[in-house]
Amino acid sequence: MKKLSKKSAALLVAGLVTCGLLAGCGGGDKKDAPKDGGKAAAKTLVFGCQMYADGGIDPSAQTNTAWNCSRFGVGQTLFRFDDNVKPVPQLAESATPSDGNKTWTFKLKKGIKFSNGTEMTATKVKEYLDWIREAGKKGSTRPQQFLDFEAVVTADDAAGTVTIKSKKAYPNMAASLADPSMVILDVKGSKDMKNGAIGTGPYMVKSFKNQVGYEMVANPHYWNGKVPYDQVNIMFMGDASAKANALRAGQIDLAENIMNVADLKGLQADKKFTVQIAPGTRCGFSWMNMKQGRPLANKALRQAVLKAIDYKTICKSNTIGGLYTPGPSVIPSSLGYGFDKLKNPYEYDPEGAKKILDEAGIKDTNGDGIRELNGQNIQLRYISYANRLLNDFSDAHTQYLKAVGIGVKSEYGSSDDQWSKLVAGEYDFNNNNWNSMIAGAPTVYMGNWYSKAEANYCGFKSDTYDKAYEELLTTMDTKRYGELMQTLQQTLIDEAAVLVDGYYNSCIIYNNDKVGSAHMYPLDYYWITDEIKPAGAK
Amino acid sequence: MDTKKNKFLSNKGFVLFSILALIVVLVAIFAPVLSGGVDPTAGNLADAIMAPDAKHIFGTDKMGRDIFARVLYGARISLASTFALVLTVFVIGTALGVLAGYFGGWVDAVIMRIADMMIAFPGLVLAIAVAGMLGASMRNAIIAIALVTWPKYARMARSLVLKVRHTDYVYAAIVTGSSTWRMLWKYMLPNTITTLVITAATDIGGMMMELAALSFLGFGAQPPTPEWGSMLSEGRDFIQSAPWLMLYPGLAIFITVVIFNMLGDNLRDILDPKEE
């Protein structure tokens, strides 16, 4: 009897616990549902996105924090990029060059205020442009790429103009100042630049939770009409499936870049969601470390690497699902920098790859399936991270390379790991996905392979490339610019300098019940904008 | 001895699960034969994420690799790493526990306080932190889990040693000139070994799960190594559209863990007199 009682009690407790757990699973919606039948909820947007650089929004700290500031709808630039990657007025109404493009005068729009109510005067713009160049020296944003340190900024509050005089000519300074690092912030008014910068964007930071996200509220002083949402909650979620499931479960209303083909196709087929895909300016590519002493300093090995990989099959596969377009150049084929005229001597040809290796004396002498270079088995270190299908590309490359006898050791971690190893040169392959049209042109991006550039993380050196790049920096002639771009691209291809994954399309996905409209730009500097409107809003 | 042998053979559960465990081990050993010579790390992207068919009976994964071959080879990684882990914590934990229990004093205090510190943290969380610091690899995953698991064995060994440390026959052995080494080896260790072997046997399933968990989270086996936990992780994005990516490695973990858990339970039934 006693035993039976204990058993019964145990069963009862187990039953109660199970009921409790099941009760916890359900009913959440009712509890969270607004009492006014959903009208209040419609004014809150929940946005799921990848967390970059710990979610900071200080534009002087890192490139990613500058992007966050723009992407989260906090900061805006004098000009911004449109669907054709052309700079169009935003906080400024015009930009006028003079003195051979060395002096630029920006006429500011009237009546613009920061979210703290302070007027955005010419002096405020000057304050910011001076501050970002000084503060940016400590971080990795490198604002001097967009406005050189020596440029002198003068403000005329009465006329509402900012004049910038530089010793060097800018082909289009409006485009340079459209980079996210040039978002105009209230420097003196921003008490917490890291997570609470004060800008002119439609939303302002209410609170920030480390590793969780932001609570943003509408900027009461917004200059461009009524802000569509009262509140925007930004939730950090790096996992593509987590984003997709959160969308399906109604936990988020809008997500950027769900790069899981299965989930994306499922959402595209579901009428409840809208998937917008924009042909992008991004290129997925692996740096190949050519610094002295590294295996990939050997050109024959690099050539064999490029020939060993079947780029077209990878991009067409069920894994990548056409979200990337294959191509040999670091500039996306859709951007029109002479892609069609480029010649690629490294089309997929595994037998050709083996022949190159054999001729270079890179052979498998011990019969373990891996070739040896300088008497040692080749074991290339592949750094990658889970973003925009990069790990899938890295896995695919590893597989193809193994087939021709090139050993690869994968090391996958966070985006910060990938970045720190890139900067430290601790890699052989380092896979990432970069915007090729920084400041609306590929000039800055192509500097990644200029031997005198700080951003040349792979040790690439070519006199042809350097000469063409130096001319690219100074030319004002559009036709010549195009010719030089072609030379640069072809040099990188000929030197087997870069392992290109393909050209990536950005996407944004939203729940039609919650969001009426949203827009994805080719340059993904803009996520939360005043163009995202609640369902039913005009 | 005969009685003991009969005890093993007369326990049907033990015999059954021993045979099943042996089959799992044989599958791991003969994976190259059973997979028909298919390389588990070689695939064709053109065949990626294909449903099971006559050519690939478990289907293919994201890289077009044969999941059947990967599951078979995965048994090698999972079993080898689990046995290595269990053996490591068994040896280290037992040795430290016996030393702490026998010598007492500051030796006991130092070993046990370190053990207390390790136990104060949630096991898997600490293992994730350690694996994160050491870098992602199967070896580091084993080290990480070993670091958080040895105290269990040490505490158990210590308590078993303390039970006999102050008995007359132990003092008699010391008085008659037995060396410290002999005391530990002949008198202390045999008193702990049965209980610890049972613990180790019942821990195999749990350890396998923990290693798979670390690999699932990216702290264990790295691609393209066929390991069940990392295969689950690779397949989770496709759980709705291509469930075979998770189903087969999941089943492999489930079946293997059940077999080793049941084997451990039956071994305990045989060896632990309290259960009789």
DSSP string, A140-156: S--GGGTS-TT-EEEEE
Q: Which of B45, B224, B237 sits opposite A317 (nearest CB)?
A: B45
Helix segments in A284-431, DSSP class H: 299-308, 311-316, 350-359, 390-403, 415-424
Using CA coordinates, name the residue in chain A closest to B41.
A399
Using CA coordinates, name the residue in chain B closest to A393.
B63
Number of alpha carbons in the 13 Å side-chain half-sphere of residue A332: 23
Q: Which of residues 56-75 of B touch A (CB under 8 A)?
A: 62-64
Number of other residues whose CB lies within 10 A of the CB of residue A499: 25
In whole angstroms, give the CA distance from residue A218 to residue A43. Answer: 10
Residue A419 CB partners (closer than 8 Å, separation 6+): none
> Taking CB atoms and an 8 Å cutoff, what residues of chain B touch A413?
136, 218
Give the model's pLDDT for residue A24: 44
Q: Is B45 on the interface with A (CB under 8 A)?
A: yes
> Taking CB atoms and an 8 Å cutoff, what residues of chain B touch A410?
222-224
Q: Which of A313, A391, A412 sits opposite B45 (nearest CB)?
A: A313
Using CA coordinates, name the residue in chain B closest to A315.
B45
In whole angstroms, give the CA distance from residue A69 to residue A114. Answer: 14
Angle at A48 between CA A44 and CA A50, to 5 degrees: 145
Q: Is B136 on the interface with A (CB under 8 A)?
A: yes
Q: Do B237 and A262 touch (CB under 8 A)?
A: yes
Give the model's pLDDT for residue B187: 82
Q: Is A370 on the interface with B (CB under 8 A)?
A: no
The C-alpha of A225 sits at a distance from chain B's nearest C-alpha, in angstroms, of 41
Q: Do A310 and B45 touch (CB under 8 A)?
A: yes
Encoded amino acid at A39, one letter: K
Q: Do B46 and A319 touch (CB under 8 A)?
A: no
Give the model's pLDDT for residue B131: 78
The C-alpha of A408 sits at a distance from chain B's nearest C-alpha, in angstroms, of 10
> Taking CB atoms and an 8 Å cutoff, what residues of chain A touch B135?
411
pLDDT digits (tens, 9 = 90+) for B132-151: 788 788 888 899 899 889 99
Residue A489 CB partners (closer than 8 Å, separation 6+): A329, A330, A331, A337, A338, A339, A342
In whole angstroms, give the CA distance from residue A229 to residue B172. Answer: 84
Give the model's pLDDT for residue A261: 82
Using CA coordinates, name the residue in chain B closest to A258.
B237
Q: Do B63 and A266 touch (CB under 8 A)?
A: no
Q: Do B223 and A398 touch (CB under 8 A)?
A: yes
DSSP class of residue A43 equals G
Band (B258; pLDDT cuts 50, 70, 90): very high
| Averaged pLDDT, groups of 10, chain A, 538 residues long | 50 54 43 43 86 94 94 97 90 95 96 97 97 90 90 97 94 92 96 96 97 96 96 90 91 90 87 87 95 95 97 92 90 84 95 97 94 94 90 94 94 86 95 88 94 93 97 89 95 97 91 92 90 86
Q: Which pair of tokens denotes residue A183?
A: 């978002």
Number of alpha carbons in the 13 Å side-chain half-sphere of residue A445: 23
Q: Which of A263, A314, A411 sits opposite B45 (nearest CB)?
A: A314
Instruction: Give the residue from B155, B130, B146 showing the smallest Cα distance to B219.
Output: B130
Q: Do A266 and B240 touch (CB under 8 A)?
A: yes
In whole angstroms, give the CA distance from residue A172 to residue B199. Answer: 73
Mutation site, B50, B62, B137, interface A, largest A CB count within 10 A: B62
Instruction: Give the residue from A109, A120, A107, A93 showing the smallest Cα distance to A185.
Output: A120
Give the model's pLDDT for residue A258: 84
Q: Is A395 on the interface with B (CB under 8 A)?
A: yes
The ipTM of this complex is 0.74
Q: Which of B135, B224, B241 sits opposite A266 (nearest CB)?
A: B241
Give the model's pLDDT for residue B184: 87
In whole angstroms, give the CA distance from residue A267 to residue A245. Answer: 10
Q: Which of B42, B50, B240 sits opposite A262 (nearest CB)?
A: B240
Q: Which of B48, B218, B240 sits opposite A318 (nearest CB)?
A: B48
- Whether A252 and A527 have beta carbons less than 8 Å apart is answered as no
> Taking CB atoms and an 8 Å cutoff, what residues of chain B touch A317?
45-46, 48, 64
Q: Do B241 and A265 touch (CB under 8 A)?
A: yes
| pTM passes above 0.90 | no
What's the whole-number mean pLDDT along residues B88-113? 94
Give the model's pLDDT for residue A35: 44
Q: Which pair of tokens denotes residue A112?
A: 């613009």
Angle at B72 between CA B66 and CA B75, to 5 degrees: 135
> Taking CB atoms and an 8 Å cutoff, what residues of chain A touch B51?
none
Using CA coordinates, name the residue in chain A closest to B236.
A241
> Taking CB atoms and an 8 Å cutoff, what residues of chain B touch A321?
none
A88 SS3 class: strand
Give the model's pLDDT for residue A78: 97
Q: Which of A396, A412, A413 sits opposite B63 (nearest CB)?
A: A396
Q: Which of A392, A412, A413 sits opposite B62 (nearest CB)?
A: A392
Residue A412 CB partners (closer than 8 Å, separation 6+): A383, A384, A385, A386, A391, A394, B136, B218, B222, B223
Q: Do B49 and A318 touch (CB under 8 A)?
A: yes
Give the model's pLDDT for residue B4: 58
- Whether A502 and A284 have beta carbons less than 8 Å apart is answered as yes
Q: Which of A241, A396, A413 sits opposite B237 (nearest CB)?
A: A241
